[in-house]
Amino acid sequence: MMVNERDDKLIDFDPKYPYILPEDWKEKNSPSVYEILATTNTLKRIYADKVIEIEEGAISNKLGEEELRNIATNYQTIKSLLFQSR
């Protein structure tokens, strides 16, 4: 295989990865497994960043905990898409 040949089975590199959220999905109602996994990874990073903000006192514990709950809920919702029949 020559370097300039293209394999259609390969996924195009997305420079936003791993920072992909549902609004970045190519087909909003039918995300690819790649998009779902990238989104869950993004949410994990957002969650970790939010924990640091709370620990550093950048946001209040009450607000931070609410935001962590929202991130966790979104994570579970996105992750459940992996188990739906396609």
Q: What is the pLDDT of residues 37-82, one digit of tens each?
A: 999 999 999 999 999 999 999 999 999 999 999 999 999 999 999 8
User: Do residues 78 and 22 touch, judged by C-beta distance below 8 A?
Assistant: yes
Return d(Cα 31, Cα 15) in angstroms, integer.
18
Own/partner pairs, 45-49, CB within 8 angstroms, 24+ separation: 45/18, 45/19, 46/71, 47/71, 47/72, 47/75
Q: In which band, very low, low, confident or very high, does the pLDDT at 25 lie, cut at 50, 70 and 90?
A: very high
Please tell me the total number of residues recorded for the chain in this structure.
Answer: 86
pTM of the complete model: 0.74
Examine the pLDDT at 7 and tell me if it is beyond 90.
Answer: no
